Amino acid sequence: MAGSGGGLDCDAAALAEARAFNEDLTRRLSMLPDQWSYPPAVIRERRAEGLGPFPQPPKSPDAQTLSIEGPHGPVPLRVLRPTTREPRGAYLHFHGGGWTLGAADEQDPRLAEIAERTGLAVVSVAYRLAPEHPYPQGPDDCETAALWLFREGARAFGGTRFAIGGESAGANLAATTLLRLRDRHGAADAFAAAVLVCGCFDLRLTPSARNWGPRKLVLNSRDIDQFVRHYLAHGTDPADPDVSPLLADLAGMPPAHFVVGDADPLLDDTLFMAARWRAAGCPAELVVVPEGCHLFQHFPLEIARASNAAIDAFLTRTLA
């Protein structure tokens, strides 16, 4: 695996497994109806019922739900705590789904794994989704959750070591939230670490996103364009740094773990964002995983197990 400070140890068999998985996944997804022939609300309902292209992971019986007040109404927070020890802090998590799909309760097994391995409580934010709730409602909810954790986290989770992160659109929202904390609240040091997994950081579309084309390997160019259209439904300029954090001043950002597969349309987003993070003087480790599709960490692959272990090691090391 290519990387700086965070390479993965996977052999040729693991890469062959991932390559075969990608070919099969592309074939299976190409046989499905066009998801954009349905309204996003219908897509969400079908996924929640287990009728989407990917199986729904089991819900954890140990998860708790809190609710905090935000500028657009209540913001639910799904909390998973370590089961073998008291938490020493918290990881604030934003799910993916193009600001349009996904839910805070759709990745319980992975979030529980993070909690057990790192000793952090994981707080996943059920932020509002477009197109019903376009920008700025989603990031406003995320900002609200981050401020709540910054102010109440020591009481709620027994420590002041906090990390932030997410996947895909969730990585975008994590970066935006860090910038808002710095610029609006003078709280650049609220989070000591960031985990940014296959993020979409430039909504004008980077070359890899724009040139990927129609191949459906979880995500394709049309999907990205549709997600951006839903999210920016009120006509927000995609060059606004509040929606495209790649274009922001990144000074004062915490140490970050960037990871992306080289079979991901959003490859350039991570490459460019990690470079700008470092150029701003902020610590960043970058891992590029051969044969990794978009969100490959969610699939039963050896490269996924290795990547998730590297993420957890980064959190443990950085928040020690």
Identify whether the C-beta of residue 182 lies closer than 8 Å to the C-beta of residue 244: no
* Angstrom distance (rounded) from CA 267 to CA 206: 9
The one catalytic residue in 294, 298, 307, 312 is 294
221 tagged catalytic: no
Q: Are 36 and 226 in contact (CB under 8 A)?
A: yes
Is 234 considered catalytic here? no
d(CA 183, CA 180): 5
Q: Is 294 a catalytic residue?
A: yes
Q: Rounded CA gap, 208 and 264, in Å?
A: 8
In this structure, the chain runs to a length of 320
In our burial notation (b when 16+ CB lie closer than 10 A, e otherwise), range 209-232 reads beebeeebbbbbbebbebbbebbb
Q: Which of 264, 268, 269, 312 is catalytic?
A: 264
Q: Annotated catalytic residue: which of 124, 168, 208, 244? A: 168
User: Active-site residue numbers?
Assistant: 168, 264, 294
